């Protein structure tokens, strides 16, 4: 079952990352989003492109970082793709996400939702990096799980978008709340996953020699 979940997670993350890279490489800016968002995007093109490509890199690299088999076979690769994930993906994608959040479609509800997502993404990434710099694998894993649950907001946002549209709710009504719904449940799931007894790797005695 866990294997199936992992395959689904990889498939969804890669799917949204490829959509982002393909759509923003080959289509005019904003041609695949709501017309009012398109005007915003064109007014802040640099921030949108920086965000889309940097954040897509995080979504692309993130899932592999959680593969313990891959990590044990390729520790050097885990460290380097971890640095690219955190610095190019989360730092650049998060700061540009925070910037475009100030102009997000959907008023203060959407702007505050995306802004808090950006700040939580940046903070959890920083905490994960600081933990591994002091060889604290226990907290590194917990903060990376929290961080990737927020990266996965790009996937849950698009699933929610499909569900609300299929339910016939108008875009202008549900989109502002999507800026909260796309990450709050993910964050709560991460806290539940970390706290449940069955997840041995997150137990206190999982400290090992310096790795990153
Ligand atoms: C987790 C932190 C993230 C934050 C704070 C964030 C924030 C934002 C904001 C504010 C917008 C503009 C929305 C609007 O104007 O209404 C946006 C759009 C976008 N973001 Fe993110 N984002 C995040 C993660 C990601 C990730 C991981 C991807 C990976 C593919 C991504 C891809 C995109 C794309 C493609 C758009 C343009 C809209 C579209 O074509 O669907 N974002 N993001």
Phi and psi angles of residue 134, each rounded to the nearest 5 degrees, phi first: -105, 20
Across 132-151, average pLDDT? 96
- Pocket of ligand 1 contains residue 118 by CB under 6 Å: yes
Q: Cβ contacts of residue 32 below 8 Å, gap of 6+?
A: 23
Across residues 180-201, what is the average pLDDT? 85
Q: Which of 10-19, 130-139, 186-195, 203-212 has the lowest mean pLDDT?
A: 203-212
Distance between CA atoms of residues 140 and 128, nearest Å = 5
pLDDT tens column, 27-63: 999 888 888 899 899 999 999 999 999 999 999 999 9
Q: What is residue 212's predicted lDDT score, i.e. its pLDDT?
A: 39
Query: How many angstroms from the chain centroid is the CA of residue 32?
Result: 20
Q: Distance between CA atoms of 23 and 205, rounded to whole angstroms? A: 45
How many whole angstroms from 154 Cα to the centroid of ligand 1?
6
Which protein residue's CA is at the shortest distance from atom 41 of ligand 1?
A: 33
CA of 210 relative to ligand 1 center, distance in Å: 34
pLDDT score at 196: 82
Distance separating alpha carbons of residues 14 and 204, to the nearest angstrom:
32
Lowest mean pLDDT among 21-30, 154-163, 188-197: 188-197
What ligand 1 atom has the least distance to the C-alpha of 41?
Answer: 15
The predicted pLDDT at position 36 comes to 82
The C-alpha atoms of residue 42 and residue 29 are separated, in whole angstroms, by: 7
């Amino acid at each position: 079952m866990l294997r199936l979940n992992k395959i689904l997670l990889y498939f969804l993350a890669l799917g949204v990352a490829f959509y982002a890279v393909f759509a923003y490489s080959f289509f005019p800016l904003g041609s695949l989003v709501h017309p009012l968002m398109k005007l915003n995007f064109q007014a802040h093109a640099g921030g949108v492109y920086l965000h889309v490509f940097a954040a897509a890199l995080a979504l692309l690299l993130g899932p592999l970082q959680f593969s313990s088999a891959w990590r044990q076979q390729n520790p050097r690769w885990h460290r380097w793709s971890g640095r690219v994930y955190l610095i190019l993906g989360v730092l650049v994608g998060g700061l540009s996400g925070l910037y475009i959040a100030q102009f997000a479609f959907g008023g203060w509800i959407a702007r505050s939702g995306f802004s808090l997502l950006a700040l939580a993404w940046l903070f959890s990434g920083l905490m994960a990096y600081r933990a591994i710099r002091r060889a604290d694998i226990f907290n590194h894993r917990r903060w990376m799980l929290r961080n990737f649950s927020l990266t996965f907001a790009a996937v849950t946002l698009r699933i929610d978008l499909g569900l609300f549209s299929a339910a016939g709710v108008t875009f202008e009504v549900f989109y502002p709340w999507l800026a909260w719904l796309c990450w709050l449940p993910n964050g709560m799931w991460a806290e539940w996953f970390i706290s449940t007894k069955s997840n041995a790797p997150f137990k206190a005695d999982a400290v090992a020699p310096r790795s990153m």
